[in-house]
């Protein structure tokens, strides 16, 4: 049997490299980078970044920038001091829905929209749950939450908070799921 020529060996080598690259890409699909930044929109239109412990007041306008390296299913909800929750994203009134496309920065709840703080206690804790795959349990729990302006109707946050933490802590449930929490303080005037 004749030895493969240099061109044929090179073609075989390139093919092996391409196949191996494909295997690496397929096995790393669930890896992504997600950046979230919560802002208060000031009366003049400028924005102030809010971090853990930042104070908010009734009437404040909030929005969140999200940037991801891949499309993600993102759910944002608030938890108040009583343990009740309100859905912040996705909202039916927002043009942006799940999955949120990757490789771009998006403003949540949607372009030209903000969340209005009707009661600072409603926004005590902001939860951000992100996953490269949808989860029907998260969708069902989130669908039961009222929108933030419906503060007279409250749903216990515990099931969704517990589910968020369980998903983020258990890689077998959804590969690549993450759960981030931002705790805010109520400004006392």
The structure tokens listed for 53 are 């412990």
Burial class from Cβ neighbours inside 10 Å (0-12, 13-18, 19+) for residue 51 reads exposed
Percentage of the chain exceeding pLDDT 70: 65
Q: Using the predicted structure, report yes or no on whether residue 173 has a pLDDT greater than 70.
A: no
3-state secondary structure of 188: coil
Q: What is the pLDDT of residue 1?
A: 54
**169: pLDDT confidence band, cut at 50, 70 and 90?**
low
Angle at which helix 158-169 crosses helix 136-143, to 10 degrees, equals 160
Contact 130, 106 (CB under 8 A): no
Q: Token pair for residue 120?
A: 């600072």
Per residue in 26-49, pLDDT (tens digit) is 444 457 888 999 999 998 889 999
pTM here is 0.71
As a whole-number percent, the residues of the chain with pLDDT over 90 amount to 17
Task: Give the Cα separation of 43 and 22 in Å (integer).
Answer: 50
User: Taking the mean position of all CA atoms in its chain, how far away is CA 185?
Assistant: 21
Q: Which of 41-50, 87-96, 127-136, 179-188 has the highest mean pLDDT?
A: 41-50
What is the Cα Rg of the chain in Å?
22
Range picked from 10-14, 67-71, 85-89 for highest mean pLDDT: 67-71
Cα gap 81→118, rounded to integer Å: 14
Kindly report, residue by residue over 71-122, the tens digit of the pLDDT: 999 988 888 777 777 888 998 878 889 999 999 999 998 878 888 887 777 7
């Amino acid at each position: 049997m004749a030895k493969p020529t240099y061109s044929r060996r090179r073609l075989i080598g390139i093919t092996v490299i391409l196949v191996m690259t494909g295997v690496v890409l397929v096995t790393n699909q669930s890896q992504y980078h997600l950046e979230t930044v919560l802002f208060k929109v000031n009366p003049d239109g400028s924005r102030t970044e809010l971090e853990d412990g930042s104070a908010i007041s009734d009437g404040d306008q909030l929005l969140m920038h999200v940037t991801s390296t891949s499309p993600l299913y993102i759910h944002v909800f608030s938890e108040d001091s009583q343990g009740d929750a309100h859905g912040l994203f996705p909202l039916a009134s927002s043009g942006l829905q799940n999955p949120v496309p990757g490789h771009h920065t998006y403003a949540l709840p949607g372009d030209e929209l903000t969340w209005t703080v009707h009661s600072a206690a409603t926004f005590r804790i902001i939860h951000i749950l992100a996953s490269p795959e949808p989860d029907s349990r998260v969708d069902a729990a989130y669908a039961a939450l009222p929108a933030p302006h419906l503060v007279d109707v409250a749903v216990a946050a515990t099931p969704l908070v517990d589910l968020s933490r369980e998903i983020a802590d258990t890689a077998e449930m959804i590969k690549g799921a993450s759960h981030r929490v931002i705790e805010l303080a109520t400004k006392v005037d």
